Each structure stands twice: as structure tokens, then as C-alpha cells.
Amino acid sequence: MANPPFRRPEGRPAPAPGLLRRIDAFARLAFPGVSTAVLMVLAAAPVSLPSPVLAAALPCVAFWTVFRPAAMSPPVTFALGLLMDLLTMAPLGAGVLVLLAVHAAALRLRRFLARQSFLAVWLAFCVAAVGAAALYWALQALLALRLPPIAPAMHGAMLAAGLYPLIALVLTRIHEAMRIAENTP
Amino acid sequence: MIRLSIPLRQALARLSLPLMIAAAFGVMLLGKADALLAERLRSHLADALSPIYAALAEPMSAVRGAVEEVQALAQLREENAALREENDRLRRWHSAALALESENEMLRRQLSFLPEAAPAFVTARVVADGGGTYARAVLLATGPQHAIRKGQVALDDRGFVGRVTEVGSRSARVLLATDMNSRIPVTLESSRARALMVGSNAARPRLSQWPEGVMPVDGERVVTSAEAGAFPAGLPVGVVRLSDHGAPEVELFARLDRLDAVRLFDYGLRGILPPEAVARPEPRQGRR
């Protein structure tokens, strides 16, 4: 887009950030983490679904890591993992490591994934979800020193895989809206 | 915001993932080292989140109620069909019963049959299970105005329960049919064979002493028999069930595990002598 004629071409492209603009930017930066946390808290509400917290957290973390890594930074992922461990009865640290692993994998592959079609991303996410659930289960077994049943972990992975299109649909809309808002001066 | 030089910021960004993974292991160690820490944090978080969940509970219970309503409607349909079918069957039985009743009436008129007097009964509340000498017995609260006597027959709304064994001024103990000491003369309804129902302290008393050539059949109704003059004939007792080993047992109609009130019938039968009435051989007198 063309710069306004009165601005020097080598200067900063945006005007000096005012309070509103700064709040706006901060809201955009904070939205992924906060929305994921809210979704996890809602998923932890007592309904009769098997392990929906992991299933709610995985798609959000993966999506935001691929499409907006600045907002889903490792510290945010860490905080979300801690929240997940506290919301569920898992041993402390297991959820943190699982979310960080998903985050790291998505970060490594994001340049490749961002160019793929939705279906390919979904397939990759399914593989990641099964891996994450297996890692989660293994960590729980290791930290509690007893074998928990594997069925809930697999249910969580399948639920995450099934929830991904739904969450991704909504998040894509929001992501587009944010990008448009960022690109207009 | 703190202004950092660009290389420093890049280095921080590159370092943050390994740092965070190391921190995750640190958290794991912390959680293992201090098991109470996680519990404390969890309870704090639950305290903070409970208003949210309380607000959510209202719409969620509404949704759950709607789902249950739909399920109940579907069940209602099935139940309705089943009830209609049962109603048809019962109506057939009703007409059969009416026909049999009139036929019975007619036959009785021709035979100058002596009708049985309707038995008198009192209903007493069950106040305690167990206790006393027997493993399966219940205590009834009665009043002094009721003339309860040993040997009276106790029935609940479905069938035979047991027999009064001890009588106090305000209570009576009923020995249940499941007790090990209970022996009830019964009739197998379809074969008319007499047998003895022997309690075993388990939920189903066993059948024994049935005559040769007759085998109790699974599902056969069992009623009391007037043998020995202890019970009137024909009180409903239960249904024959074969155990896992093929031994015939009686599944009682009465729900002995949840008795709240029983009816005590006085049939005026004196077939079983109370223990104190049994004549002991008296020491001879006058001789040595």
C-alpha cells in the first residue's frame, strides 16, 4: 500500500503508537493465549465428555503456533500447559511438556504447513494429536509410577482431531480479521 | 515496554523454547518433590473458577434437562407400547379369571362348599433388621393391644416373609424364610408336589425333600402347603430358580432386603408347638 505523501519514506511506517493503538496491539497479542485459556476452562466444566481439556488446548496451540507464532510464544504455551495440569488431575508438568512439544513441532514445520491446504494441515494435526496424547499418557505413567488406562488418552486425541476443523474455522476468521486490522494503518 | 537491542531480543526468542522446556522439567520435579503444592494450586484455581462454573451450571442443566426430556419421550413411546401389549394380555386374563370365578361359584353351589373365613391381620412396622438369635430376622414394633402370638404368618405386599418366633409386649421378632433355621413346607404349584424350603442365610432358600419322580422346574410357582398345620395352603412364596450347580432354589416374591411393614396373619393354626409347650419328661417322683 502507498505511504501517505507527507511522510518520509525511510521513517517508521506506522505513526507513533498512541494509547488506543497500543491497547489494540496488546489485545491482538494476548488474544490467542487468553482465548485458549478460556476455552480450556470451559472445557473443564463438569460435563460428561472424556478429557476435553487436552482436546481443546491442542488445536488452539497448534493453530496459533502455525499462523501467529508471535502471540503463541513459548512462555504463553508454558502458562497454558500449567493451566491444563491444574485443571485436570494430571501430575504437574506433564501437560506443560506436551503443549511445548506440540508448539516446538508446529514451530519447526510452520513454514511448510502455512503453505499447505487445510486438509493437509488437519492430517498433520491428527498425527501430532495422537503423538501428543501418547506422550501425555507416557508422562502420566512415568510421573505417577503406575499405568493409567490408555483409552481416555486416545479419546482425547480423537476428540482433538475432530474438534480441529471447528476450532480452525473460527480461528481462521479471527486471524483474517486481525491481519486486516493490522494492515490498515 | 522495555526496549531491548535487536540481537538480544532475537537471542531471547531463540532461547525461550529450550528455557521453557527446561522449566517444564523443573515443574515436574517440583510437583514430585512437593506433592501438596499441586493440590494447593488446584484448590486455589478451583476457588477462582467456581463462579464461572456456577454461572455455566444453569444453562448446562437446562440443556441436559432438554436432552433427558427427549430421551424420556422416546422411552415413553416404548413403555406405552409395552403397556398396551401388557394391558391386552391382562384383559384376556381378566376375562379368564371372571369366567373361572363364575364357574367356581357354580361348582361351589353344587358342592355346598364350606367357605374359609377371611383371616384377620395386623400390619406392623419393621424397626430393625437382624439381632437376636437368628441371622435373618426382623424386629417389628407392635402394641400391647395387638394379640400377636408365636407362629403367626408374616407377609409383605408381595408374598411370604416368615414366621413370628418371639413376642414381647411391644415388639415381635419374625424369622425370615431365608434364615438357616427356617423350614417351610411348600407345594410346587404345577406338579402339586410337596417339598421343604430350607433357608441358608443366602438370598434364595433351597428346596429339599421333594418326592421321587418329580423335579422342580425353573419358573414354577411355589406356594405354602398346609402340611403339618403350620401354614394355610396357597400363600404365594416364590418362583423356582435353578442355581449355577443345578440345585433348585426359591426366588422369593417378598423383598426381604427392604421390608418396611409386614402383615401378620392369624389363621388360628396351632400346628407348631411353641418350645415352652413341648412337654419335657418330668422327673419321676416317689421312686428312686
ipTM summary value? 0.75
Q: What is the pLDDT of residue A3?
A: 45
DSSP state of A37: H
Q: pTM higher than 0.95, yes or no?
A: no
Contact B73, B80 (CB under 8 A): no
Percent of chain A at pLDDT > 90 equals: 10
Looking at per-residue pLDDT, the higher value among A51 and B129 belongs to B129
φ, ψ (nearest 5 deg) of residue B2: -80, 130
Q: Which three cell numbers stand for residue B149?
A: 402370638
CB-based contacts of A83, cutoff 8 Å, min separation 6: A37, A40, A41, B45
Tens digits of residue pLDDT in B63-119: 889 999 999 999 999 999 999 999 999 999 998 999 999 888 888 888 877 766 677
Q: Where are the beta strands (DSSP E) in chain B?
A: 120-129, 137-141, 153-155, 160-167, 171-176, 183-188, 194-198, 206-208, 221-224, 236-242, 248-252, 261-266
Q: What is the pLDDT of residue B96?
A: 92
Q: What is the pLDDT of residue B49?
A: 84
Q: Residue A2: which pLDDT band, with cuts at 50, 70 and 90?
A: very low
Residue A10: how many CA atoms within 13 Å on its side-chain side?
A: 0
Region B212-233 average pLDDT? 86
Q: Which of the residues B3, B28, B30 would you substitute to probe the A interface, choosing the one with the greatest number of A C-beta atoms within 10 Å?
A: B28
Region B141-151 average pLDDT? 83
- Nearest residue in B to A46, CA atom: B53
- Cβ contacts of A74 on chain B, cutoff 8 Å: 16-17, 19-20
Tens digits of residue pLDDT in B32-51: 888 788 888 888 988 888 88
Contact B176, B140 (CB under 8 A): no
Q: For the structural domain made of B116-272, what CATH number should be given? A: 2.40.10.340
Give the A:B interface size as CB pairs under 8 Å.
72
- Closest CA of chain A from B80, distance in Å: 29
Q: C-alpha distances in angstroms, B190 versus A56, B207, B217, B221?
A: 64, 15, 9, 7
- Cβ contacts of A49 on chain B, cutoff 8 Å: none
Tens digits of residue pLDDT in B239-285: 999 988 888 999 998 888 888 889 988 887 766 655 565 555 556 66
Q: C-alpha distances in angstroms, B189 versus B178, B208, B225, B237, B254?
A: 20, 15, 10, 11, 17
Indicate yes or no: CB of A74 within 8 angstroms of CB of B41: no
Region B163-189 average pLDDT? 89
- Closest CA of chain A from B73, distance in Å: 21
Q: What is the pLDDT of residue A50?
A: 52
Q: What is the pLDDT of residue B272?
A: 62
Tell me the helices (H) and strands (E) count for chain A, helix number first.
6, 0
- Closest CA of chain A from B58, distance in Å: 12
- Closest CA of chain B from A152, distance in Å: 21
Mean pLDDT across chain A? 82
- How many C-beta atoms lie closer than 10 Å to residue A133's C-beta? 26
Q: What is the pLDDT of residue A16?
A: 57
- Nearest residue in B to A87, CA atom: B42
Tens digits of residue pLDDT in A59-100: 999 888 888 888 888 888 999 998 888 888 888 888 899 999
Q: Which of the residues A96, A107, A136, A146 would you substitute to probe the B interface, choosing the one with the greatest number of B C-beta atoms within 10 Å?
A: A96
Torsional sign, CA A49, A53, A54, A60: positive
CB-based contacts of B262, cutoff 8 Å, min separation 6: B123, B124, B126, B138, B140, B154, B155, B156, B161, B174
Tens digits of residue pLDDT in B51-75: 888 888 888 888 889 999 999 999 9
- Nearest residue in B to A139, CA atom: B28
Q: C-alpha distances in angstroms, A137 versus A54, A124, A132, A153?
A: 11, 20, 8, 6
Cell 407377609 belongs to B155
Report helix angle B6-33 to B35-111, nearest 10: 50
Q: Which three cell numbers stand for residue A162?
A: 475432530
Measuring CA to CA, which residue among B270, B186, B275, B277 is closest to residue B226? B186
Q: Residue A1: which pLDDT band, with cuts at 50, 70 and 90?
A: very low
SS3 content of chain A, % helix, strand, coil (to 5): 75, 0, 25
Q: What is the pLDDT of residue B3?
A: 66
**Hey, where are the domains in chain A?**
27-183
- Closest CA of chain B from A1, distance in Å: 26
Contact B272, B231 (CB under 8 A): no
Q: Which three cell numbers stand for residue B171?
A: 415388639
Tell me the helices (H) and strands (E) count for chain B, helix number first.
2, 12
- Cβ contacts of A65 on chain B, cutoff 8 Å: none
Out of B29, B42, B53, name the one closest to residue A45 (CB). B53
Out of B30, B42, B56, name the one closest to residue A86 (CB). B42
Out of B24, B42, B45, name the one closest to residue A97 (CB). B24
Q: Which three cell numbers stand for residue B8?
A: 538480544
- Cβ contacts of A78 on chain B, cutoff 8 Å: 20, 23-24
pLDDT at A185 > cutoff 70: no
Out of B27, B56, B60, name the one closest to residue A92 (CB). B27
- Cβ contacts of A81 on chain B, cutoff 8 Å: 24
Q: Which three cell numbers stand for residue B102?
A: 363364575
Mean pLDDT across chain B? 84
Indicate yes or no: CB of A143 within 8 angstroms of CB of B45: no
**Hey, where are the domains in chain B?**
10-115, 116-272
pLDDT at A125 > cutoff 50: yes
- Closest CA of chain A from B53, distance in Å: 6
- Closest CA of chain B from A97, distance in Å: 6
pLDDT at A53 > cutoff 80: yes
Measuring CA to CA, which residue among B156, B140, B134, B165 is closest to residue B257? B156
Q: Which of the residues B10, B19, B27, B44 would you substitute to probe the A interface, choosing the one with the greatest number of A C-beta atoms within 10 Å?
A: B27
